[in-house]
């Protein structure tokens, strides 16, 4: 699924990375616990979260994620935006709650990924 399609489905706004919204993501992970995200398999994934701190960007970078969607109208800090720009990570924000956002993406073909063994 293209990031631009996710943006439309979630009625999201691009915070940074507009030039990369035509990139594809192949799986998604929804969590506010970065330890759970670290248990997630790398695969051009998107992270949906309501957690707003720089650790979110660093975790996504470690896991080779290319997009983060902040749910519940959460907004990243200027420091987070700068880190995302440096890492080439697209940031989106949506008013949609995490459960609904995950359901919308899943029902439109974006799957989850398997946990590491």
> In this predicted model, what pLDDT tens digit does every residue of 56-76 receive, in sequence order?
999 999 888 999 999 999 999
Please tell me the predicted confidence (pLDDT) of residue 112: 78
State in words which class domain 3-107 has: alpha beta
117: pLDDT strictly greater than 60: no
Give the pLDDT band (50/70/90) at residue 22: very high
Give the global pTM.
0.92
* Residue 14 near residue 21, CB atoms below 8 Å: yes
């Amino acid at each position: 699924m293209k990031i631009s399609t996710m943006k439309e489905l979630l009625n999201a706004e691009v915070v940074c990375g507009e030039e990369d919204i035509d990139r594809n993501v192949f799986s998604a992970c929804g969590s506010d616990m970065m330890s759970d995200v670290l248990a997630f398999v790398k695969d051009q994934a998107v992270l949906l979260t309501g957690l707003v701190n720089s650790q979110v960007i660093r975790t996504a970078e470690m896991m080779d994620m290319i997009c983060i969607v902040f749910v519940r109208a959460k907004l990243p800090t200027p420091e987070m935006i700068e880190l995302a720009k440096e890492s080439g990570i697209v940031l989106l924000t949506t008013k949609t709650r995490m459960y609904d956002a995950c359901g919308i993406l899943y029902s439109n073909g974006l799957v989850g990924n398997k946990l590491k063994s």
